[in-house]
């Protein structure tokens, strides 16, 4: 899909497409996205924050007025859009976690979503985890099967409403969404990413099984974006996962890092072990918009330096060494041909699976060629929802 705005910055265009995609489940309005984008200076993180914050504040204020006048549905609709706009506002600021703007926008994102949740019977939950809790939401459906869902490298648990929770609840599923270590609600508690994701999903399933109306024999796990690697990793070691969705599939984060070194992993390791590695990484940030954002964000969510983040992704975040082959439950892998982050990785994951497996390849002619099918979320959710219904039927 050709960019409609921000034609010179891949990250700004993709994040705008992500906003357009969330229109499908109430997370944005077309005119609000377009007019906000037109006010933003391309590649300027401060401008991006200021304009999305202004739109979010305006929409939230109107929702407050609707609520005060007793118009609960209009208020909920506005709060949902405002929550997503607040999420966007702080997205590019993660290179400096001490920036006070992050805390303000994040707190407003959560508060606005909870106003929406209160109207639509979505229960905020806190899941016990290693002496603290992981934030999440429970959507009670009308059927017996439950889908546990989490985001990936950068998305919030609130955003999972648009990336599957609303769609699957429409189909009768119970849905439990959560933020794990490294993700927005947990990193703010000091919980950084960890590769052994089964030790995250395990406590989540413990909490879920205590719900009397949850059928422990009918639980699926869905991971979005980098969650398409984390969720398969968990399913490989957690037998309570009875169906798996990799949305989209990721086999090896190290490939993404190695590409910066000509695809040579040993060259990447040598460079990252060099005392001047962080200087080199900052040089990469200056030359490429995607790298600029990814290293800044990755340094925060892994609790390391730029080179430490890259080395962790290179060595620890993969499904090699027989991990993918351990997965035994039915597995759906989604693939997008124009995925700027993980092109070719879904097919690699699929090839390594030895379980009952399905690959869904989306296409540009469907408007679904972007990462996680952003911009075609109704289509993506229809195919994922249908697969889950068939699997649990």
User: Catalytic residue numbers?
Assistant: 225
Cβ–Cβ < 8 Å for 370, 338 = yes
Strand order across the beta sheet in which 122-129 lies: 122-129, 132-139, 174-178, 146-150, 219-224, 243-247, 331-335, 357-361
The C-alpha atoms of residue 140 and residue 44 are separated, in whole angstroms, by 41
- Sign, CA dihedral 160-161-167-173, equals positive
The answer to whether residues 372 and 155 touch, using CB atoms and an 8 Å cutoff, is: no
> What gap in Å lies between CA 132 and CA 243, rounded to an integer?
28
- Could you tell me where the DSSP H helices lie in the chain? 10-21, 30-39, 45-68, 72-89, 100-119, 165-170, 184-187, 198-209, 227-237, 253-258, 265-273, 277-287, 289-302, 306-316, 345-352, 377-392
Non-local CB neighbours of 240 within 8 Å, separated by 6+ positions: 205, 209, 216, 219
Instruction: State which H helix or E strand residue 43 sits in.
Output: none
What is the DSSP annotation of 291-310? HHHHHHHHHHHHTS-HHHHH
CA distance 72 to 57: 18
Q: How far is CA 351 from CA 117, 147, 355, in A?
A: 40, 24, 11
Contact 324, 236 (CB under 8 A): yes
**Among the listed residues 158, 217, 173, 187, the one whose alpha carbon sits nearest the alpha carbon of residue 25:** 158
Virtual torsion, Cα 392, 362, 7, 16, nearest 10 deg: -10
Q: Residue 360 corresponds to which tokens in the numbers above?
A: 């869904």
Of 228, 254, 257, residue with least CA distance to 152:
228
């Amino acid at each position: 899909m050709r960019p409609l705005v921000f034609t010179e910055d891949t990250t700004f265009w993709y994040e705008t497409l992500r906003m357009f995609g969330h229109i499908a489940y109430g997370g944005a309005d077309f005119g609000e996205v377009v007019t906000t984008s037109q006010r933003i200076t391309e590649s300027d993180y401060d401008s991006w924050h200021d304009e999305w914050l202004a739109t979010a504040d305006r929409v939230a204020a109107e929702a407050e007025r609707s609520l005060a006048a007793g118009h609960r549905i209009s208020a909920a609709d506005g709060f949902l859009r405002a929550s997503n706009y607040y999420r966007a506002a702080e997205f590019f600021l993660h290179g400096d976690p001490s920036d006070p703007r992050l805390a303000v926008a994040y707190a407003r994102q959560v508060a606005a979503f909870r106003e929406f949740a209160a109207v639509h019977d979505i229960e905020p939950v806190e899941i016990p985890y290693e002496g603290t809790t992981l934030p999440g939401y429970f959507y009670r459906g009308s059927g017996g099967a439950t889908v546990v869902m989490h985001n990936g490298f950068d998305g919030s648990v609130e955003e999972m409403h648009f990336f599957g929770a609303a769609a699957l609840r429409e189909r009768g599923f119970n849905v439990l969404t959560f933020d794990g270590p490294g993700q927005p609600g947990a990193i703010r508690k000091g919980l950084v990413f960890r590769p052994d994701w089964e030790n995250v999903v395990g406590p989540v399933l413990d909490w879920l099984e205590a719900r009397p109306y949850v059928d422990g024999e009918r639980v699926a796990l869905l991971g979005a974006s980098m969650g398409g690697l984390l969720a398969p990793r968990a399913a490989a070691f957690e037998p309570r996962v009875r169906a798996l969705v990799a949305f989209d599939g990721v086999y090896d984060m190290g490939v993404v890092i190695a590409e910066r070194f000509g695809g040579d992993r040993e060259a990447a390791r040598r460079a990252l072990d060099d005392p001047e590695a962080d200087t080199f990484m900052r040089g990469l940030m200056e030359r490429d918009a995607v790298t600029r954002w990814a290293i800044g964000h990755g340094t925060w969510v892994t609790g390391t330096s730029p080179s430490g983040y890259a080395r962790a992704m290179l060595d620890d975040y993969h499904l090699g060494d027989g991990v993918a082959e351990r997965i035994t439950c039915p597995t759906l892998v989604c693939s997008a041909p124009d995925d700027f982050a993980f092109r070719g990785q879904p097919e690699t994951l699929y090839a390594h699976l030895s379980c009952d497996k399905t690959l869904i390849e989306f296409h540009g002619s469907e408007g679904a060629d972007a990462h996680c099918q952003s911009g075609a979320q109704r289509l993506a959710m229809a195919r994922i929802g249908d697969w889950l219904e068939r699997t649990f039927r």
